[in-house]
Amino acid sequence: MFKNLSYLWMAIVLILLQIFILDQLSIAMWLRPMLFPLIVILLPMEWRTIWVLLISLTVGVVMDMSLGGVGLYTATLLPLAIIRRTTMYLTTRRGLEPGDQTSLMSRLGLRQLMFYVAAMILLHHAMFFLLETLSLENVLHLVATILLSSLLSIIIALPIVHLFTLKIIDK
Amino acid sequence: MHRLIEFIKRIYVLVLFLILEVAALWSYATSSVYAEAKILSRTTEVGGAISGTITDIGHFFSLTYHNRELTSRVAELNEELERTQLLLEESGIDPESTTAIDEDLHFRYHPARVVSMTTNRNRNFVVLDKGTHDGIAKDMGVITPDNKLVGYVVSCSEHYAVVMPMLNTDFSTGGRLVGNDYVCVIRWSGVSKYKFEAVELSIYSNPSEGMEVEVRSERLPAGILIGTIVDYELNSSKSAYSATLSIAADMSSLDNLLIVENTHYGEIEGLMQQVGN
């Protein structure tokens, strides 16, 4: 119960951080960090996909209403709920086993967890910017936006994931 | 039965995901004209090939009708050409000696066919089978072969163009009353696909039923018909007329169309931007 509350607090902090700080930063058109996908990415792998899907929907709708995405945030968050386990397996070679006593994320080191987080952030940013631009006329600009924004998001995510492993997973 | 329940249990998450994803994408796609047109042109790249084949089959069976229409159009143009030649001769100009070349043409016409279209929504779009590869660009006008306005190109992919037709609540264009040259703005309210409104007709324009309204836009030549006034009334402050027009083009049966390129449009736009800045 207490752990679930920790996830709720993390979600609120990440949403507020995105709306009031990250989205207000205007560093460059091609540098737009996004941390709210971490809410979905860091949910326990043991949770049923249907719950993760509904949480993604809630976060997406909140972001759409706050930042005027009209479906853009939701459309790019929902696939994360579906591809989480596959991405985890592809990046860490770890999957859910029937007899596991501890959570999958607690068995990963920070480095392995960051591989998974980085892959998910990259996938999310690729979907987001592709859907936002809806054009391949300036592919170089699009690729640069995806890569540089992902890189910045991953760098900012590193201390958050570290804190997450210490305060939530290892509890 | 048991197997069916098991099957549903296995796929319900995926089905729910697909429903939610489609709903989110739909919401995003219809949020702005840009997104709608872009998504439509992207999906058209894939779907265009399929619906293009279906349309081709339809075209094959309507060839007789189109041939008859083209023949009458050729006859009309021949008569017009003859009249022009007569006028030139009467004015003492040798028609053979004209030095006009392709580059001098103010307007160029690109024939195109409708690949897909909608007419039952508030924001309808028409997809044509010509794109940037064929020299089509955003903002070009689209008309029927008998000079009736259809709409304007709002987005292009390599092989397809998306047109915002008059039957779109975001559409607006300048109009001119034939006969007295008063201008007006034309918009569609989404009520009927056969009628739309001209707003802010001058109090001095003296409209009458049956009066024709032509396009007044730098994107199209003069003489392109928008519609005919079927009803009009003074507004409450008695400062202007508001009129209802019947749309000239039959928007429910568009097939062969002409995309009109104003070769001076870039120059005009550049000037307008200078003034704007």
Residue A86, pLDDT score: 93
Tell me if residue B180 falls in helix, strand or coil: coil
Q: Kindly tell me if the per-residue pLDDT of B46 is higher than 80.
A: no
Flag if A74 and B16 touch (Cβ within 8 Å): no
Q: Kindly tell me if the per-residue pLDDT of B145 is higher than 60.
A: yes
Helix %, strand %, coil % of chain A (to 5): 75, 0, 25
**Distance from the B170 Cα atom to the nearest Cα atom in chain A, whole angstroms:** 18
CB atoms within 10 A of CB A9: 12
Q: What is the CATH number of the domain that holds B164?
A: 2.40.10.340
Task: Give the ipTM.
Answer: 0.89
Residue A84, pLDDT score: 93
Give the pLDDT band (50/70/90) at residue B96: low
* Residue ranges of chain A with per-residue pLDDT less than 50: none
Segment among A71-75, B170-174, B209-213, B237-241 with least mean pLDDT: B237-241
Flag if B39 and A71 touch (Cβ within 8 Å): no
Q: Kindly tell me if the per-residue pLDDT of B56 is higher than 70.
A: no
The more confident residue out of A109 and B20 is B20
Flag if B17 and A135 touch (Cβ within 8 Å): no
**Distance from the B232 Cα atom to the nearest Cα atom in chain A, whole angstroms:** 39
**Could you tell me if B271 and B140 are in contact, meaning their C-beta atoms sit under 8 angstroms apart?**
no
Q: What is the mean pLDDT of residues B31-57?
A: 64
Please name each of the domains of chain A with its CATH number: 2-169 (1.10.1760)
Flag if A71 and B24 touch (Cβ within 8 Å): yes
Q: What is the pLDDT of residues B249-270, one digit of tens each?
A: 888 778 888 899 988 888 888 8
Residue B20 domain-assigned (yes or no): no
C-beta pairs of B56-62 under 8 Å, 24+ apart in sequence = B59/B113, B59/B255, B62/B255
Residue A88, pLDDT score: 92
* Option in A53, A60, A134 nearest B39 (CB): A134
What domain count does chain B have? 1
Chain B residues with CB under 8 Å of a chain A CB are 12-14, 16-17, 20-21, 23-29, 31-32, 34-35, 38-39, 42
Residue B117, pLDDT score: 78
Residue B184 domain-assigned (yes or no): yes
Residue A26, pLDDT score: 63
Residue B49, pLDDT score: 63
**Distance from the B146 Cα atom to the nearest Cα atom in chain A, whole angstroms:** 34
What's the domain range around B251?
A: 107-277
In chain B, the percentage of residues whose pLDDT exceeds 90 is: 10
Mean pLDDT of chain A: 87
Residue B249 domain-assigned (yes or no): yes
Residue B242 domain-assigned (yes or no): yes
Give the pLDDT band (50/70/90) at residue B198: low
Residue B39, pLDDT score: 67
Residue B55 domain-assigned (yes or no): no
Residue B173 domain-assigned (yes or no): yes
Q: What is the pLDDT of residues B220-250, one digit of tens each?
A: 888 899 988 888 888 777 778 888 888 888 8
Q: What is the mean pLDDT of residues B8-27?
A: 89
Give the pLDDT band (50/70/90) at residue B105: low
CA pair distance B130, B114, nearest whole angstrom: 9
Q: What is the mean pLDDT of residues B77-81?
A: 78
Helix %, strand %, coil % of chain B (to 5): 40, 30, 30
Mean pLDDT of chain B: 80
Give the pLDDT band (50/70/90) at residue B69: confident
Residue B122 domain-assigned (yes or no): yes
Specify whether the backbone of B121 is left (phi greater than 0), alpha (psi in -120 to 50) or beta: beta
**Could you tell me if B19 and A54 are in contact, meaning their C-beta atoms sit under 8 angstroms apart?**
no
Residue B71 domain-assigned (yes or no): no
Q: Kindly tell me if the per-residue pLDDT of B100 is higher than 60.
A: no
